[in-house]
Amino acid sequence: MRVGLIVDSACDLPYEFSRKHDLFILPVTAVIDGQTYTDEHDPVRTQEFYQSGLLQKGHQAETRAYTAEQIHDLFMEKIVTQFDLAICETVTKTRSLIFQNATEAMNSVLSNYQKARDAAGREGRFFMRVIDSKQIFAGQGLLAAHTLSLIDQKLSKNALRHEVETFTDKIYTCVIPRDLHYIRERARRRGDKSVSALVAFLGKALNITPVIFGQGADGLPAVKTRSFDMAVEKVMNYAAARVEAGLLTPYVSLSCGLTWTEIEDLPGLNRLRDACERNGVELLLSQMGITSSIYVGPGSLCLALAAEPHSFSEFQ
């Protein structure tokens, strides 16, 4: 049985890792200053966006999920004809319509896949599951990496689904937003009140950079610092200490809305690299995708790992 893993464009992973494991990327549409772009995690296009300045303040940017019809067509053409079982992991359904649209597309596909498989010479039945990752960005990337390791274990389709859905609640995410006002305005346009105007005001008035920490997309300020570099240092210290204490999967996922030169200069990054190397953990370091950067703001950072219950302050 050939198993395929599908993730959407909000999932941040190194390009080479995604290509090596043949991940299928479900695109997201980005609309910037009225121009429409398709985010397919092309590293060249992503780098062009960072260099163009289109992701900076002053540009009207938003993301739009593919419709159920568009996703249905992609599944029928690319997934049904190549795999016997497909797992589709989407960005948390509390932040996007992708889960809803992918589920609708899946139901249609499961009722109409036979002709496409016959035409492709693919024998046997086709199975599919759409799973709410409950994650964003690097958290999605971590779940995808862990799912690939589960697929390698040749689990049954029901066992695989159970393991993935159970694991989502064990992922902890740190987000450092570069501009709280950017997030507030994006949230306001989506009707999301999770970032208040007061927090945004304090961030501007006092030059506060918070570290948002929690399980999956449900995070709260764990610490407030006076600079981005100070916040990064605290996150790197946390991650290195948590790696030393032990993880539930041998990956740390880190995505940054920065150029590669800026990423390599992040304070504490080499300390985290050393901790990962000592403990047999793979650091999945990536440039934040277009979709992620539009959502949380250019210059931001997201780190995810899976561990037993803990607080951020325990590892400072």
Query: Average pLDDT, stretch 115-141?
Result: 95
Which of 169, 204, 231 is a domain's end point?
169
Query: What's the number of domains the chain is made of?
Result: 2
Last residue of a domain, one of 138, 169, 200: 169
pLDDT at site 208? 85
Q: What is the mean pLDDT of residues 143-172?
A: 96
User: Sign of torsion, CA 29 215 304 149?
Assistant: negative
Domain boundary among 169, 202, 229: 169
Q: Are residues 246 and 310 in the same domain?
A: yes
User: Per mean pLDDT, which range of 47-51, 207-211, 226-230, 256-260 is the poorest?
Assistant: 47-51
Same domain, 270 and 156: no
Tens digit of pLDDT for each residue in 62-74?
888 899 999 999 9
Same structural domain, 70 and 33: yes
The pLDDT-based confidence of 180 (bands split at 50, 70, 90) is confident
Note whether 190 and 211 are same-domain residues: yes
For residues 231 and 102, state if they share a domain: no
Residues 231, 112 within the same domain: no
Kindly report the average pLDDT of the chain as a whole number.
90
pLDDT score, position 195: 57
Assign residue 195 the CATH number of its domain.
Answer: 3.30.1180.10
The answer on 28 and 165 residing in a single domain is yes
Q: Mean pLDDT throughout 201-218? A: 78
Question: pLDDT class for 204, splitting at 50, 70, 90?
Answer: low
The answer on pLDDT for 136 being more than 80 is yes
Q: How far apart are CA 278 and CA 243, in angstroms?
A: 9
Domain span at residue 57 reads: 3-169
Share of residues in the chain with pLDDT > 70 (%): 90
Nearest to 175 by CA among 302, 268, 311, 289: 302
User: Hey, what are 46's tokens?
Assistant: 């992503």
pTM above 0.85, yes or no: yes
174 with 159, same domain: the answer is no
Q: Are residues 144 and 25 in the same domain?
A: yes
CATH number at residue 29: 3.40.50.10170
Whether 193 has a pLDDT exceeding 60, the answer reads: no
| Residues 174 and 156 reside in one and the same domain | no
Lowest mean pLDDT among 11-15, 111-115, 212-216: 212-216
- Mean pLDDT of the 184-196 span: 62
Cα distances (Å, whole numbers) of residue 44 to 15, 40, 229, 270, 290: 10, 11, 27, 25, 11
243 and 219 co-located in one domain: yes
Are residue 177 and residue 297 in the same domain, yes or no? yes
Q: How far apart are CA 194 and CA 176, in angstroms?
A: 15
